[in-house]
């Protein structure tokens, strides 16, 4: 993935600050072009006769909800991944250290554990104000709904806009603007008589997953609840209440790898009968969340009580939890990789 001009500026400033703070030399390494996923840059740090190589993933802003997507991306690189961003808060620094994820920021905070090189700096404050870039229409709510629908239904981009509008429940004009933005951003190509084609789908998915928790997910929440029995979901026949499992419960049912701490339910409205049957109590801090679905199609797979796998994956990554990130990767490899593979 090629870094934007702003991300390249962030990278250079972070490397300059790292050198000033640690006294170590950091160099960008020229890499030969190769197929597959490429990092924003490969950097090297010579130390005690060893050249320490890292694949840099640049994020201008890193938050708990976007952490999972960034960490997953690091695992695709040949060299060990390194998160580069403007600022890492002390709690985030501790979390990344616990996950053994190397990082650097503009304030001079850093973590690297690659013996004999070990660095851990946290608590440095960033002095400058930050004005985020405007979010393009493609990554605002209507755009995120459209991208999700296109990724879940390969080839849909080559059908009339009215078909896409029907499957997203969005206005035809909204679809037109989003498709225009996807072309402008290099994710959609117009091949004339051969129609339209979605490209760089792996990168598009990464951007979608990063934007979903902040731009769309909060708008979907109907309510939060708690249950006296933490295992209530194991026997719940959720299909009887016109609802679907997302997040950790969906992942547990799909992989048998995860013990859910949070139950995520998608339903068109509050499933009152389900709430009554399982004695769910309203609690703004509860570990049961009910959200409204945002798509208008049936996903073609053999798990009718689960939301589409891309949404399970996004729900898991949005938690920033290490075990959820690991489970998300299993789901990506089993269910999602084929959807974003280039034809």
- pLDDT above 60 for 2: no
Instruction: Tell me the two tokens of residue 166.
Output: 């029907």
- pLDDT above 60 for 127: yes
Distance from first CA to last CA of the chain, Å, rounded?
Answer: 18
Report pTM. 0.86
- pLDDT above 80 for 129: no
Mean pLDDT of the chain, nearest integer? 91
- CA dist list (Å): 186 to 14, 138, 179, 197, 310: 27, 12, 11, 11, 21
Q: Which domains does the chain have, with CATH numbers?
A: 5-121 (3.40.1350), 137-215 (1.10.10.10), 217-340 (no CATH)
- pLDDT above 90 for 63: no
Residue 23: CA count within 13 A, CB half-sphere? 0
Angle at 165 between CA 160 and CA 167, to 5 degrees: 100
The answer to whether the CB of 271 falls within 8 A of the CB of 236 is no
Partner residues linked to 28 by β-bridges: 43
Instruction: Tell me the two tokens of residue 6.
Output: 């702003």
The answer to whether the CB of 77 falls within 8 A of the CB of 56 is no
Q: Which residues contact 149 (CB under 8 A, 6 or more apart)?
A: 156, 164, 167, 168, 295, 296, 297
Question: DSSP readout, 48-67?
Answer: TTEEEEEEEEEES---HHHH
Greater pLDDT, 77 or 56: 56
Instruction: Give the pLDDT confidence of 273-326 residue by residue, as tens digits.
Output: 999 999 999 999 999 999 999 999 999 999 999 999 999 999 999 998 889 999
Q: Give the pLDDT of residue 209.
A: 94
Instruction: Give the pLDDT confidence of 94-105 residue by residue, as tens digits.
Output: 999 999 999 999
Range 211-218 average pLDDT = 94
- pLDDT above 60 for 31: yes
Q: Which residues contact 333 (CB under 8 A, 6 or more apart)?
A: none
- pLDDT tier at 144 (50, 70, 90 boundaries)? very high
Q: Distance between CA atoms of 92 and 113, rounded to whole angstroms?
A: 16
Q: Give the pLDDT of residue 1.
A: 47
- pLDDT tier at 33 (50, 70, 90 boundaries)? very low
Nearest CA to 210 among 78, 44, 83? 83
Instruction: Tell me the two tokens of residue 194.
Output: 């051969």
């Amino acid at each position: 993935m090629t870094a934007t001009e702003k991300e390249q500026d962030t990278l250079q400033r972070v490397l300059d600050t790292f050198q000033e703070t640690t006294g170590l030399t950091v160099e960008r390494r020229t890499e030969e072009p190769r197929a597959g996923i490429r990092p924003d840059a490969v950097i090297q740090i010579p130390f005690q006769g060893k050249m320490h190589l890292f694949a840099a993933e640049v994020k201008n802003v890193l938050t708990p909800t976007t952490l999972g997507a960034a960490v997953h991306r690091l695992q695709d690189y040949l060299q060990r991944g390194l998160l580069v961003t403007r600022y890492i808060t002390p709690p985030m620094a501790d979390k990344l250290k616990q996950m053994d994820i190397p990082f650097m920021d503009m304030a001079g905070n850093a973590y690297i554990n690659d013996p004999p090189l070990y660095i851990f700096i946290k608590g440095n404050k960033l002095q400058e104000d930050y004005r985020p870039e405007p979010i393009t229409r493609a990554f605002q709510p209507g755009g995120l709904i459209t991208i999700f629908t296109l990724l879940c239904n390969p080839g849909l981009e080559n059908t009339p806009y009215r078909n896409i509008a029907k499957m997203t429940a969005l206005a035809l004009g909204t679809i037109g603007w989003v498709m225009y933005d996807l072309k402008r951003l290099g994710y959609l190509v117009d091949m004339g008589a051969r129609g339209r084609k979605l490209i760089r789908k792996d990168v598009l998915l990464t951007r979608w997953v990063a934007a979903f928790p902040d731009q769309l997910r909060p708008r979907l929440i109907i309510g939060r609840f708690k249950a006296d029995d933490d295992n209530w979901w194991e026997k719940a026949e959720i299909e009887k209440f016109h609802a679907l499992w997302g997040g950790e419960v969906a992942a547990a049912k799909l992989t048998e790898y995860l013990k859910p701490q949070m139950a995520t339910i998608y339903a068109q409205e509050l499933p009152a009968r389900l709430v009554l049957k399982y004695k769910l109590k309203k609690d703004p801090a509860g570990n049961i969340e009910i959200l409204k679905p945002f798509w208008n199609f049936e996903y073609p797979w053999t798990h009718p009580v689960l939301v589409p796998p891309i949404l399970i994956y996004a729900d898991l990554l949005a938690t920033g939890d290490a075990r959820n990130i690991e489970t998300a990767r299993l789901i990506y490899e089993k269910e999602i990789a084929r959807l974003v593979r280039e034809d």
